[in-house]
Structures are given as C-alpha cells and as structure tokens.
Amino acid sequence: MRTDTHPAPAHPATPTPVSPRRFRRTALIGLPVLALVLLMVFLAQACESMAGGRVHSALDYRRHVARTKQVGMDTVGRLRPAPALAGALPGATLDGTAQEEGNSSCVDDLGFDEGDVTRGRPGFSWRLRFEDSRGYLAAVEDLRAQWKAQGLTVTDVPPPDRGEPGEGLPGVRTTDHGIELSLRRDWYTGNPTVYANGTCMRHHAGQG
C-alpha cells in the first residue's frame, strides 16, 4: 500500500534582531543631519523675513491692491448714518473718489530687491461729510459695534489735540485679514476720513 508523504511546512525565517549598538550608531548619525536640515530651513526663513517676505507675482500684488480698495469701499458703504462724499460731484462713486495714500515705510533700505523685484503697500482714503459732529460720532460707535460683532479687535483713535482741526472727535480702528481700517479725522484738515491700508508686499513688476 502506497503512502503519500508531504514535506513538513517551512517555518518562517527568524528575523535577525537589530543590534542595540547599530541602532544607536544610526540614530547618532541621523540626528546631526536632521539638525542641519532644520538649521538651513530656519536660516532661509530668517533671511526671507529680513528681506521683507517672499516675492509675489505682479498679479498677486494687483489683487492685493484691489482687495484693499474694496474693503475700504465696503467700510464706507456700511457707515450709519450714511455720509456724503466730501468735495465730490453728484453721481460720484466710491471707486472714483478713492485717494491713493503714499507710504514711506515700505521701502528696500537694505538692498535686497534685485532685477524686477519691487515692493509696495496699497493705501486708499475717502473724505466724508456728515451733517454734524453728532452724526460722525454715531457712525464711529456704529462701526465699532459692527466690527466687534465680526469678532475683530477694535482700538480707539485719539482725537486731535486742542486747537487742531477736528479736536475732541475720536476715531476707531481695526485690522481685517491684514488690512488696517480706520474712521477718524484727518490730521491736517480735520475732515472725517476712512482709511484702508494693506500690508507691504514684495512683488515682481510688470504684467505677470
């Protein structure tokens, strides 16, 4: 009588244990490499920060300008009581009456910008006219309440000093997604004015 025999099942190979000494040696080699990589990343970020941040495209900057202007126009549009545009003709628009504000702090003092790289900080203002100072103060308080309802941090703008245009009339200020907004009296004329100032941005010039 024939008897079939089957080979005994093969046992899986026992893995060779890692020597603790080899593990420690690998770890000691890897730690300095990791530290070097982290140091290089930190230095690159520090240099970029010192230079004024990363360089954006020309399109990014145009969008930044447009958004700054739009946020300012939205702020004027939500003022209650609604003011008139000072010195504007009938039918004038917020877009057409926006005054560009210069900014001397957004400059390349250390010479980091090369080639077509430049930098700019968009800023716009709208001169307003209220019926009287009570209307202006009511608009300040209403705007403060609106901003707080949005969860924004609101700070007071001190009134101009005695004898200055607009004396005794404080303003209000906040920052919304990097855009500084304020309703206050102009330092020189005393006119109620809404200001919208974006952040300083490095960018390529041209149409790209």
pLDDT digits (tens, 9 = 90+) for 78-121: 999 999 999 999 999 999 999 999 888 898 767 688 889 999 99
Q: Are 33 and 110 found together in one domain? A: no
Q: Are 46 and 147 found together in one domain? A: no
Q: How many domains does the chain have?
A: 2
* 201: β partners: 120
> Of the candidates 51, 73, 93, which is a domain's last residue?
51
Q: In whole angstroms, give the CA distance from residue 102 to residue 27.
A: 55
Compute φ and ψ for 53, nearest 5 degrees: 95, 175
Domain containing 83 equals 54-204
Q: Are 71 and 109 found together in one domain? A: yes
- The three-state secondary structure class of 58 is helix
What is the overall mean pLDDT for the chain?
84
| Domain membership flag for residue 4 | no
- With a CB cutoff of 8 Å and minimum separation 6, the contacts of 159 are 166, 167, 168, 169, 170, 171, 185
Q: Are 83 and 144 found together in one domain? A: yes
Q: Which regions in the chain score pLDDT beneath 50?
A: 1, 40-52
| Domain membership flag for residue 2 | no
* 12: β partners: none
Q: In whole angstroms, give the CA distance from residue 91 to residue 83.
A: 14
DSSP assignment of 19-36, as one string?
A: PHHHHHHHHHHHHHHHHH
pLDDT of residue 26: 62
Question: Rounded to a whole number, what is the distance in angstroms from the first to the last CA of the chain?
Answer: 90
| Domain membership flag for residue 7 | no
